[in-house]
Each structure stands twice: as structure tokens, then as C-alpha cells.
Amino acid sequence: MSSPSSALPASHPLRDGRTSASPLVRAAHGDRPETLPVWFMRQAGRSLPEYRASRAGTEMLDACLDPALAAEITLQPVRRHGVDAAVFFSDIVVPVLLAGVDVKIVPGRGPVLEEPVRTASDVLRLRPLEPERLAPISEAVSIVVRELGGTPLVGFGGAPYTLASYLIEGGPSKDQLRARALMRTDPRTWATLLNWCADVTGAFLRAQVEAGASVVQLFDSWAGSLSRNDYQRRVAPHSRRAFDALRGFEVPKIHFGLGMSEMLDLLPPLGADVIGIDWRLPLDEANERLGGRLPLQGNIDAAFLTAPWNLVEAHVRDVVERGAAAPAHIVNLGHGVPPDTDPDVLTRIVELVHAL
């Protein structure tokens, strides 16, 4: 009988044993390792002075597509904080850019498109993401994995709804009105667009896994703008399609969505092995809503990161205590690291979690 990881290259860290027994991978499989694993969403980035020095004079998307620079930025928080995983430094719109869509990252705003995708003809003009375009991603991941040794790399991609929201709105939006309007007024075009988004993000995830990522996370930043019914009928099948790109690659899959407390029970059928919880819902309640069946990730409130240390410590202890109700727990924030975070606070949180 072949190994369940047989679709992975023989040199993959999960196949050759480098990361298969790491605390993060064990927790993602529902185990409780001796040391509680911890990493932070957006740990590679603006909170670190070494990041600002590395990226000086380089546009965000250019940095993402420079393998040596992307690898260096990915590794910086592992060296500094001693976290239990690196997360690949990139942006969720990178696969969209590689598929030929003109998108830019505007400082202080985020991804912006000169020509939003809003009609059936706009969607028909979208081209598939050709595998060779992902070469810089594969190269960066390979560099990182060689350096990490037994520390796993978390690959990531944007969920189809979040990608579609950027494409339709033309940039970040608080309420995704245009996106939700298209979903209701032209469901066929909507489904075609979300399938395209699922395929480009699925290819992005797959390239990272093939090059050595040991875990992946799908981010759905804007899912909280949807009703439960709309998410279930018009969005969830496309998120499953993104995860389906990894069929045969037995890597643990994390789903993280903002504002999804009332939809948690809809997430396990998507193919997620771990459910990321934002700061709004205590982990013991999240575990109850999921029937105690899946490992959880989260959910330190980033608002505490600027508080006095005694408040930070009490909050982290509370998160860990509530996470003990779940089959396994990966400690993380309830969203990403804010840019003005003192890196020393993150290092102290890692030390505290490991001591617990």
C-alpha cells in the first residue's frame, strides 16, 4: 500500500521526515504535541525592522516575485521570534497578477485594479494561469524550505470570494456591495468568475506544496460580508474547488475566514483539516459549534499587542486554556500582525506559549 503522501515528491519535508513530526504538523493532524505550536498571520512583514530594510526601494509585488528576497523575508520572523512555522511571504493577488491581470499594491490601501472585472465579457477575457508563470514562487519556496530544516513552511492563498471581491470592487471594500450585487444579478457570470479565482489560487497553493510547503492556509478576508445562505450556495463550493487542487497531496489544510462565527459548521466539508478562528469568538465556543471534531487555530486579539504585558499574558493564557477544549490547538492571532506591533511582544508571546 502506498504512503498517503505518495503524490508529494520524495524530497518533500513531509515525505523525508523533516517536518512530519513538527509540533505544527502534529497539531494540524489532531495531535497534542509536548510544545504548543504558535505562528502569526502576517508575521513576515512590516512589523519587523529587518523587513523594512530588506524591502527598501522595492515595490511590494516586485518583492513577492524576487525569489531570494521573498525567501529572506519569509525566514526573518522564524529567526527573530522562534515561531513553529514560517508563512510564505507573498500576496493573495500574486496569482491574479501572474495570470495577466493588471493589479498593483498601493501603499496604505492595498490591491488596486485599473480595470475592474464587472461584466460577463470582462470575465471571459480572463486567461488561465500557466504553470511556468509560477516559477518564481516555486524557487522562493525551495530556498526557504532548504533553510528551515525541521520547521514547516505554511503556504497560503486567497479564497475565491476574497479574490473576486478585489477584482470586482477594483480594490479593498468594506461591504463588497458590487461583488454581492453581481452574485445576485448574474449568477452565471459570478460562478464563472469564482471558478477562475479558485483555479488560480489552487494553482498557487499547489506550486507552494510541490516546492516544499508542509501546510497550507486559505484566507477568506471578506466572507463575513455574506449571509449564511449566500455563503453556502454561492461561495463555499468554490472554496472547496480551491482546496481540491491539492487532491492527492496529503498536506494539512487550514481555512481562515473573518467574521464567520455563524458559518463555522459549513467549513469542514470544504476540505479543511484545521479551522482558524478570528478574535470575536472564544475557542471553547468555536469548538462546541464544530462538534469538537477539528483542531482550531487562533485567536489572540491583536488589540492586546499594545497593552501592558500583564494584560497580554492574561489574555494569551485565557486563549490557550479555551483552546484546550479542542482536539488540538495551533496558537495564532485572530487576524494578522498590525504594522506598528513591537516585535519583542511577539517574541515574548512565543516564549510564553512554549512555556505553557
CA–CA distances in Å: residue 189 to residues 179, 181, 225:
11, 12, 20
Report the C-alpha dihedral over residues 351, 79, 157, 65, rounded to 10 degrees.
160
Least Cα distance to 90 among 62, 114, 110 occurs for 62
Catalytic: which of 51, 80, 91, 301?
91
Catalytic: which of 46, 240, 289, 348?
46
Catalytic: which of 18, 26, 51, 55?
55
Asked if 152 and 208 touch (Cβ cutoff 8 Å), the reply is: no
Least Cα distance to 78 among 353, 354, 350, 356 occurs for 350
Q: Is 15 labeled as catalytic in the residue annotation?
A: no
CATH fold group of domain 23-355: TIM Barrel (3.20.20)
> What is the distance between the alpha carbons of residues 87 and 122, in angstroms, rounded to a whole number?
33
> What is the distance between the alpha carbons of residues 82 and 216, in angstroms, rounded to a whole number?
20
Q: Which burial class, exposed, middle or buried, applies to 147 when counting CB atoms under 10 A from its CB (0-12, 13-18, 19+)?
A: middle
Q: Is 166 labeled as catalytic in the residue annotation?
A: yes
Residue ranges of alpha helices (H) inside the chain are 23-28, 49-55, 60-64, 67-81, 94-98, 120-124, 135-148, 160-169, 177-185, 187-211, 228-230, 236-244, 283-289, 309-323, 343-355
pTM: 0.96
176: left (phi over 0), alpha (psi -120 to 50) or beta: left
Place of cell 504594522: 339
What cell does 71 get? 525567501
Q: Is 247 labeled as catalytic in the residue annotation?
A: no
Place of cell 487562533: 298
Q: Is 55 labeled as catalytic in the residue annotation?
A: yes
* Amino acid residing at 201: T
> What is the distance between the alpha carbons of residues 12 and 21, in angstroms, rounded to a whole number?
14
> What is the distance between the alpha carbons of residues 261 and 152, in angstroms, rounded to a whole number?
28
- Burial pattern 326-352, b for ≥16 Cβ within 10 A else e, equals bbbbbbbbbbbbeeebebebbebbbeb
Asked if 220 and 162 touch (Cβ cutoff 8 Å), the reply is: yes
What pLDDT tens digit does each residue of the chain (356 aa) get? 334 446 899 999 999 999 999 999 999 999 999 999 999 999 998 899 999 999 999 999 999 999 999 999 999 999 999 999 999 999 999 999 999 999 998 888 889 998 999 999 999 999 999 999 999 999 999 999 999 999 999 999 999 999 999 999 998 888 899 999 999 999 999 999 999 999 999 999 999 999 999 999 999 999 999 999 999 999 999 999 999 999 999 999 999 999 999 999 999 999 999 999 999 999 999 999 999 999 999 999 999 999 999 999 999 999 999 999 999 999 999 999 999 999 999 999 999 999 99
> What is the distance between the alpha carbons of residues 161 and 167, in angstroms, rounded to a whole number?
10
Give me the pLDDT at residue 6, please: 64
Report the C-alpha dihedral over residues 233, 260, 94, 270, rounded to 10 degrees.
-50
- The phi and psi torsions of 141 (rounded to 5 degrees) equal -60, -40
Catalytic: which of 42, 80, 206, 322?
42
CA–CA distances in Å: residue 192 to residues 119, 198, 213:
11, 10, 29
Catalytic: which of 18, 51, 133, 166?
166
CA–CA distances in Å: residue 120 to residues 33, 159, 193, 236:
50, 21, 9, 21
30: left (phi over 0), alpha (psi -120 to 50) or beta: left
